[in-house]
Amino acid sequence: MPISKTDFVRGLQCEKMLWLDAHCPHLRIIPPEVQARLDKGNEFGDKAMGIFGEFVETTSFKEDGRLNYSAMLAKTQALLASGENVICEAAFSWYGNYCAVDILRKEGDGYALYEVKNSPIPAKQFIVDLGFQRLILRKCGVPLITSKLILSDEITEEKNPLSNSAENEKQVEQGCVERIEKDGIRFKIVDVDKAAKLMERTVEKHIFAFGKLKRKDAACPIVGVGAHCETPYPCWYIQHCKAQMQTNTSNIE
């Protein structure tokens, strides 16, 4: 079964999480604060689309409101063929494994890949996300020159749940290549190409195994509750897994 970049990031955190996404999504409980953060992230992404000026977006929908991936893939190919400079949600597929690049920008003879995240620091899971995209685009024959993160450059007192180390803060300052202000929002662009290239190897190693977890006949991986249930993202199945653990313990007693 093909997987998306979201599937990959979730599978790398916990294979059982990916299995539950595919087989039992009704067991998810998304806390309201997490949903609010996701919505805010989507808004930030929409605003970042125009930071390089004019752009074309491939997003297409079916009559039932779901994303029309085939239309997005076809539109992306047409835009690449016509030499479009900035493509948002540029869609690519390799053996069905799919990604939509937030911003793909023409640079010289190739393209720069930009991933937008409403966070001030380049957390490791963002590099995983970029590594997945790099692999798919490279397999699709896209000449990639570099890969970068577009982050928030807002100064906030709010603790960012994705801040995972002081090392990251240092990396931002070292890799920060550009600061842009648009419509009152401050963005910073950070070059993480070296780390994203390295991450491609991890992606290539796991991508097909993760796909197998989505098959109808795949068995649920046996994974216990632990630190991985909180990092990098709090898992939406924690209540289900804790209840399952309690039942298993009672059955043994």
AA letter at 85: N
User: The tokens of 48 are what?
Assistant: 């970042």
When the beta carbons of 49 and 238 are compared against ligand SF4, the nearer one is 238
5, 16, 134, 148: residue in contact with ligand SF4 (rule CB under 6 A): 16
- Closest distance to ligand SF4 from the beta carbon of 77 (Å): 37
Instruction: Return the number of the residue (55 or 233) whose C-beta is nearest ligand SF4.
Output: 233
Separation of alpha carbons 201 and 71, rounded Å: 29
Q: Is 20 in the site for ligand SF4 (CB under 6 A)?
A: yes
Candidates 30-38, 78-86, 207-215, 231-239: pick the segment binding ligand SF4 (CB under 6 A): 231-239
Q: Name the amino acid, one letter, at 216.
A: K
Q: Does 229 bind ligand SF4 (CB under 6 A)?
A: yes
Cα–Cα distance, 131 to 201 (Å, whole number): 8
Segment interacting with ligand SF4, rule: CB under 6 A, options 39-47, 61-69, 186-194, 222-230: 222-230
Asked if residue 71 binds ligand SF4 (CB under 6 A), the reply is: no
Closest CA to 241 of 4, 20, 51, 6: 20
Strands 144-152 and 110-116: parallel
Q: Using an 8 Å Cβ cutoff, are 149 and 103 in contact?
A: no
Residues within the interface to ligand SF4 (CB under 6 A): 14, 16-17, 20, 223, 225, 228-229, 235, 237-238, 241
